[in-house]
Amino acid sequence: MTLLRPTAVIAGMTGVPSRADLSVSGIQLVGKGRVVWAKKPFWLRNPPYTVGPYAHDGQIEVRAQFGQIAHAAKGKKGLDPETGLTPAAAEVAKRMKGYKAPDRMAPEAYPSKLRRTFATLRDLEAEMAKRGIRK
């Protein structure tokens, strides 16, 4: 027997965007977690720009490097005595430290520095006008 979430069943029947689509254009529900200064138990936010799989060449290079390093630790068991991490995490932590992608984006060109959110207030108001939604 397999348990299914109702949201997955409804999404399959109604054609709701996939999780990958939502990760780029959806809204994230963020829990307080270790944010000790937060007063609310959770809040909504736009997803970070790095969620999409192919934001720019440097991001692809870093993710590929990460995957190759983690794959090298396949089959190892236990925890690393130096770091206390799993073998894959320890290997990534050691070998990714200081790694810079050859085709990385210049920091001043980061999308998050150019535009803070996925949809600005002006974008939302334009969409509301297009759909005939009143304020």
Residue with tokens 């299914």: 4
**70 membership: H or E segment, kind and range:** helix 57-72
CB 73 within 8 Å of CB 83:
no
Gap between the Cα atoms of 46 and 25, Å rounded:
8
pLDDT in tens, the chain (135 residues): 667 777 667 766 666 666 666 666 677 788 888 888 889 998 888 776 665 555 678 888 888 999 999 998 889 999 999 889 999 999 999 999 999 888 888 888 877 677 666 677 888 888 889 988 887
Domain ranges of the chain: 46-135
CA distance between the termini of the chain = 47
